[in-house]
Each structure stands twice: as C-alpha cells, then as structure tokens.
Structure 1
Amino acid sequence: MNIGILTLRISLPGCASLKEKRQRMRGMHQRYGRNPTVAVCESADRDSLETSEWTFVAVGQTVPEVESLCSEIEDRVQRTVDGRVMEATREIL
C-alpha cells in the first residue's frame, strides 16, 4: 500500500468575502471525496480571503498509481477552480 499527500496552495485574487471564497472553492469535497482512494480537506488559510490550501491523500497499490492519481487531481483543480495554483507539493509514503 502506498500513500501520496498532495498539498495545493491556491490564490483567489479579488476575493472579497469568505462567502465568495466558499463559492469559488465549492465542490472540492464532492468532486474528489467520491473516489474511495482519495481523502480531501481544506488544510490551511480557512479565514484568509485570497488564499486557500487543500490537502489530498491518495492511496494505491503502486507508487506510479498514486503519482498518476495526484497528477490527475492537480490538473483537474487547475482547470476547474476559479483561482490559480501557486504551489503544489507531493510526498509519497
């Protein structure tokens, strides 16, 4: 069993309220939490208006499987979130 931890720091320029932030980040749990091999949470910057940090934990049988899943998540977040990924860090355990 291999575990990958992907942390994404997302910039939300022009975000004026926490309500707007939640609307822009809406659906992260639903999109990624459906997969039984992925856990997701907002891990930092909960009260910050212009940044958000999300951590994804992916589990797989092989390291390439986990890396592929992390890459897929990162690519999909970049395409679907109304913001810009400023930093992405990965760790394979």
Structure 2
Amino acid sequence: MHIAILTLRFSLPGCASLKEKRQRIGGMHERFGRNPSVAVCESGEYDRHDASEWSFVVMARTKREVESLCSQIEDKIQRTVEGRVMDVVQEFL
C-alpha cells in the first residue's frame, strides 16, 4: 500500500470574508471525499480571507496509482477553484 499527502496552498485575491472564501473553495469534500482512496481536509489558513490550505491523503496499491490520483486532484482544482494555486507539496509516506 502506498500513501501520499498532497497539500495545496491557495491565494484568493479580493476575497473579503470567510463566507466568500467558503463559496470559492466550497465543495472540496463533495468533489474529492467521495473517492474511498482520498481523504480531504482544510489544513491551514483557517482565519485568513485571502488564503487557504487543503490537504489530501491519497492511498492506493501502487505508487503510480497514487501519483495519478494526485495529478487528477491538482488538475481538477486548477479548473474549478476561484483562486490561484500558490504551492503544491506532495509527500510520500
């Protein structure tokens, strides 16, 4: 079994409230949490309006499958989140 932690940090320019932040970032759990191989949570920047950090724990039988899932997550986030991905860290356990 292979496990990776994928952490993404976002910049949310012009975001003025936590409510607006949730609207821009909202749906992460619904989009990615349905996959039994992925666990997702907001992992940082809780109180900042203009930034957010999310972590994904990805598990699969092979390292190649884990890398593929991480790549799919990154691609989908780039297309769907109203903000800029500032940093991506992928760590294998």
Q: Normalising by the residue count of structure 1, what TM-score does the alignment of the two structures yield?
A: 0.98
- Name the SS for the 1:35 alignment partner: coil
| Superposition deviation, residue 92 in structure 1 | 1.2
| Superposition deviation, residue 23 in structure 1 | 0.6
Question: Which amino acid in structure 1 is aligned with residue 11 of structure 2?
Answer: S
CA distance in 2, matches of 1:83, 1:42: 15
RMSD over aligned Cα atoms: 0.5
| Superposition deviation, residue 3 in structure 1 | 0.2
Q: Is 2:76 aligned against 1:76?
A: yes
- Name the SS for the 1:21 alignment partner: helix
- Name the SS for the 2:55 alignment partner: strand
- Name the SS for the 2:4 alignment partner: strand
| 1:4-83 pair list within 5 angstroms | 4-83=4-83
Question: Which amino acid in structure 1 is aligned with residue 92 of structure 2?
Answer: I
Measured against aligned partners, the alpha-carbon deviations of 1:48-93 in whole angstroms (never above 9, x if no partner) come to 0110000000000000100110011011101100001000000112
Q: Normalising by the residue count of structure 2, what TM-score does the alignment of the two structures yield?
A: 0.98
Question: Which amino acid in structure 2 is aligned with residue 83 of structure 1?
Answer: G
Deviation beyond 2 Å, 4+ runs, structure 1: none
Question: Which amino acid in structure 2 is aligned with residue 65 of structure 1?
Answer: E
- Name the SS for the 2:15 alignment partner: coil
CA distance in 2, matches of 1:45, 1:92: 23
- How many residues get paired? 93
Q: Give 5+ residue unaligned stretches, structure 1.
A: none
